[in-house]
């Protein structure tokens, strides 16, 4: 097959491309330039898409002996991933930019361009496994390396697009093995730090990035009774479940820590309260991507954060065509925010992905202001 290997400049994508080459495929490397003003160098493990990354990707392609190109996808990235990130936070929701990047850039724009140029598949360094089911449908499974599994952020792409994807690292048991393999192949990126956090917020200051783009909007931080307990510079800079950075002027009566329970973008208020008010009994989500149709009443597991732990849930009916799950007795799910991705699993197999719209607390009659409660 003719395979387009996405080379980020990191060790994972370089080894993935090498493995595709070893498998006998005709491989061409491409680096996606996603920043309009790329920094010369990365800041440790933060950020990506720097000029240093592009150079590292080119050197990896040279070592592998494959053609190499740089594609400027910065406009697409800005219009989809970054714009969505800003709009979601402004609306009081919590987006996952990695999910949107996979959806709109890697397995949409990049894949479409690859197919138009005659390639059969796109190869990336993601940690996940792809198989074919008995009926020929694509099955997405967790990676063998549980600590690096990325099926959660890949599920949004759906079986149709993932049918043209290759994840050669899906069966690798540890990241250390990938680094050792890179060193054996003479790839200089073998010891390069992993990227983490939000790639386009290189300094890690998400609140500062949002204030720069959205402007300061001072407002009140209130408790569940509506009493003002602090001030903020923009409600958009907070997310449900957040504890740090609240700068509260009045301690809780019981002296216990307080957490963000909800964001009210119209009133520009942040609602805080005790940890127990974050408990969730049900989640409703929309824009469902199905890998396998499952009937109401099906018991499975759900993940609501990248690398978050699974909780046991039961699929409930949803007349609007969305997805509704009930948290099983004995399970605990806390601090779920609208905008997060919900992925359902049967063991290590992905069943569906959707975007969270509403949550229902354990005691809905006492739900605090600012927390969306499913009917």
Give the catalytic positions in this structure: 101, 199
Torsion angles phi and psi, residue 290, rounded to 5: -95, 135
State how far the Cα of 14 lies from the Cα of 357, in Å rounded to an integer: 37
Residues paired with residue 230 on neighbouring β-strands, in sequence order: 221, 248
Residue with tokens 């601090």, as numbered in its chain: 335
Structure tokens at 248: 């509260």
Helices and strands (H, E) in the chain, number of each type: 10, 17
Structure tokens at 46: 């933060």
Q: For residue 312, give every residue at least 6 positions away whose Cβ sits within 8 Å of its Cβ, in sequence order, or none.
A: 299, 300, 301, 327, 328, 330, 331
Give the single-character DSSP code of 233. Answer: S
Residues paired with residue 232 on neighbouring β-strands, in sequence order: 219
State how far the Cα of 237 lies from the Cα of 233, in Å rounded to an integer: 8
Express the helix, strand and coil content of the chain in percent, nearest 5 each. 30, 30, 45
Q: Tell me how far the alpha carbon of residue 274 is from its chain's centroid.
A: 27
State how far the Cα of 230 lies from the Cα of 241, in Å rounded to an integer: 17
CA-based max dimension of the chain: 67
Please answer whether residues 370 and 262 qualify as being in contact, where contact means their C-beta atoms are separated by less than 8 angstroms: yes
State how far the Cα of 207 lies from the Cα of 221, in Å rounded to an integer: 16
């Amino acid at each position: 097959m003719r395979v387009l290997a996405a080379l980020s400049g990191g060790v994972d994508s370089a080894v993935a491309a090498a493995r595709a080459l070893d498998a006998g495929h005709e491989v061409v490397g491409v680096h996606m330039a996603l920043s309009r003003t790329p920094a010369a160098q990365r800041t440790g493990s933060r950020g990506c898409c720097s000029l240093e990354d592009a150079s590292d990707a080119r050197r990896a392609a040279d070592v592998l002996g494959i053609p190499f190109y740089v594609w400027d996808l910065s406009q697409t990235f800005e219009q989809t991933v970054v714009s969505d990130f800003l709009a979601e936070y402004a609306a009081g929701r919590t987006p996952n930019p990695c999910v949107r990047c996979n959806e709109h850039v890697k397995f949409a724009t990049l894949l479409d361009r690859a197919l138009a140029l005659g390639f059969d598949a796109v190869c990336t360094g993601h940690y996940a496994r792809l198989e074919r089911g008995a009926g020929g449908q694509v099955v997405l499974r967790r990676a063998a390396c549980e600590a690096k599994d990325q099926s959660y952020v890949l599920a949004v792409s759906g079986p149709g697009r993932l049918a043209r994807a290759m994840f050669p690292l899906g069966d690798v048991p540890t990241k250390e093995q990938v680094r050792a393999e890179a060193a054996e192949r003479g790839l200089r990126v073998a010891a390069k730090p992993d990227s983490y956090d939000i790639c386009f917020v290189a300094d890690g200051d998400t609140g500062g990035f949002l204030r720069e783009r959205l402007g300061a909007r001072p407002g009140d931080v209130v408790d569940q009774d509506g009493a003002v307990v602090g001030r903020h510079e923009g409600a958009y800079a907070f997310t449900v479940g957040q504890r740090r950075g609240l700068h509260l002027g009045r301690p809780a009566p019981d002296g216990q820590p307080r957490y963000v329970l909800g964001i009210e973008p119209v009133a520009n208020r942040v609602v805080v309260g005790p940890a127990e008010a974050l408990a969730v009994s049900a989640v409703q989500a929309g824009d469902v991507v199905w890998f396998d149709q499952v009937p109401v009443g099906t018991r499975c597991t759900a993940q609501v954060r990248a690398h978050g732990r699974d909780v046991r849930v039961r699929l409930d009916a949803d007349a609007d065509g969305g997805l509704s799950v009930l948290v099983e007795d004995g399970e605990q799910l806390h601090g779920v925010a609208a905008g997060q991705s919900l992925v359902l699993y049967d063991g290590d197999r992905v069943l569906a992905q959707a975007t969270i719209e509403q949550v229902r607390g354990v005691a809905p009659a006492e739900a605090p202001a600012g927390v969306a409660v499913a009917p």
